[in-house]
Structure 1
Amino acid sequence: MASRCAFCEKHFVNGDKKSKYNDLEYHQKCFQCSTCHRQITQSFYNLGNNEYRCSDCQTKSSDVVTCTQCSQPITEESYIEYKDEPIHADCFTCHSCSEPLGTMLYVEHENQPYCISCHMSQFAQSCAVCGRAFPPGISTRRYENQYFHIECFRCFNCGKIILSKNYTVNSEQQRLCDQCS
């Protein structure tokens, strides 16, 4: 039994030219733009409900969603929204190294997105003891405008990590836990 066109529902006969999209077959003449009714032969947009639009009509359409970075139409089903604005995944890049961020974790600094690596190397605080930068979201200790990893904030005498807020600092600016002070 011959298959049917998904648009006109007529059977295909020998010699009919077919177009195929999403596992559906169409007579080539039936696969047309729902706006200008020209046959679709190249790129097109799926409007749903078995309606399609050629790229020329889509570009002219007022309901076209465009990328806020490159101003080109967004044709993918998935795109990124940054600050409630649509952006192509490839256009959403690190402000420093220009690598696409896509759905990767990023950090915002002065209203600009940065990959974790660039943010850490350029802006992150670093530990006063070991010098390593703090990744976003990590817990730190602070003493007199200096930052410390929790595991680096230790008693000068016994070497134990000081977890409580109860510690003293001697005249040589060395931290001492409750037991050693």
Structure 2
Amino acid sequence: MVDPYDCTKCNETLYGKKYILKEEQPYCVKCYEAVFSNNCEVCKQLIGCTSKDLSYKERHWHCDCFLCTKCERSLVDRPFTTKDEVLMCTDCYSNEYSAKCHACLKTIMPGSKKMEHKGNSWHENCFACNRCHQPIGTKSFVQKDFNNYCLPCYEKQFAQQCVHCKKPITTGGVNYHDQPWHKECFVCIGCRQQLAGQRFTSRDDFAYCLDCFCNLFAKKCAYCTDPISGLGGSKYISFEQRQWHNDCFNCKKCSVSLVGRGFLTCKDDIFCPDCGRDI
């Protein structure tokens, strides 16, 4: 019969000896350490039942071995982290791996707010306008010559002013007659349609879309009465203060093209020589 005061593993009596209960089963110290104790990650020695076993992610250390790998300070009751399974205090980890502020060059500590732009990092208060020195935060900004500017300061210091509305041009814009314009301000003087990105012409320093220019200033075809723009290399025929589109310069009777051929006129009509004999 097994004595309830015998070691569960080796069956030796525990009377007068130290023993440990594990799940209500008694073990002598030697058996308990052999079965349940862990080896220290650093010194590889057994962590005895009289020593404090510090564990992290199924790994175990003696209290005296639970140290920062870099500075060797104790990590007991202190915040720490790991890199490639190596223990480090937060100060050493930050100095080794955390981003440095692009402005003050100090470490951005883990857990603190960090601003990032084009591969650079800043403390929240260091990410400020180079002109007014106010933190930019999540507001819009412009980077120029490696410095950051809030939009109001950038406009005051660098932006060109539209020749039409006199307001700053912050994005895009059009240059016409060596003067800057907003795209939305550079419009046809006739119909007010935006001209950026499309063909246009000018008269007396005013810009016109092609339709308005033709309607206002182009001569009218003597046959179809539509404007003859003459723009873009289009050809037309002119005779005695009258003009025709090339495609409209045809014999009134047989409709043959008279471009490059002799022709006859009768009042406002034109005829080929053959048809003209019958007039």
2-structure distance, mates of 1:10, 1:139 = 71
User: Do the aligned residues in 1 keep the contact of 2:252 with 2:270 (CA within 8 Å)?
Assistant: yes
- Do residues 159 (structure 1) and 255 (structure 2) align? yes
The superposition leaves residues 114-160 of structure 1 with CA deviations (integer Å, 9 ceiling, x where unpaired) of 22232233333221101222343321111122221101101234321
* TM-score, normalised via structure 1 length: 0.78
Question: Is 2:214 the counterpart of 1:120?
Answer: yes
Note if contact 1:6-1:24 (Cα within 8 Å) is conserved in structure 2. yes
RCO (CA 8 Å, sep 6+): is it higher in 1 or 2? Answer: 1
Give the deviation of 1:43 after TM superposition: 3.6
Does residue 40 of structure 1 match 2:133? no
Q: CA RMSD in A?
A: 2.8
| Cα distance in 1 between the residues matched to 2:239 and 2:202 | 26
- Structure 1 vs Structure 2: percent identity of aligned residues? 28
Aligned: 1:66 with 2:161: yes
| Residue of structure 2 in register with 1:89 after alignment | 183
1:87–1:179 CA distance, 2 compared to 1 (3 A): same
SS of match in other structure, 1:162: coil
Q: Hey, what does 1:103 align to over in structure 2?
A: 197
CA distance in 1, matches of 2:100, 2:197: 41
Query: In the superposition, relative to structure 1, how do residues 117 and 27 fare at CA in structure 2: closer, same or farther (>3 Å)?
Result: farther
Match of 2:45 in 1: none
Q: Structure 1 residues 4, 142: closer, same or farther in 2, change over 3 A?
A: farther
- The CA distance in 2 between the partners of 1:90 and 1:171, in whole Å, is 51
1:171, distance to aligned residue in structure 2 (A): 4.8
In structure 1, distance between residues paired with 2:184 and 2:121: 32
Aligned pairs for 1:142-157 (under 5 A) are 142-157=238-253
Q: CA deviation at 1:174?
A: 3.8
Gaps spanning 5+ residues in structure 1: where?
none
Paired letter, 1:156: K
Kindly indicate whether residue 217 of structure 2 is the aligned counterpart of residue 129 of structure 1. Answer: no
8 Å contact kept, 1:167–1:175? no
In structure 2, C-alpha distance between the alignment counterparts of 1:100 and 1:22, rounded to whole Å = 34
2: CA distance, partners of 1:22 / 1:114 = 42
Taking structure 1 as reference, are residues 115 and 16 closer, same or farther at Cα in structure 2, changes over 3 Å only? farther
Distance 2:170 2:118 in 1: 16
Deviation at 1:20, TM superposition (A): 4.1
Q: SS of 1:70's equivalent?
A: coil
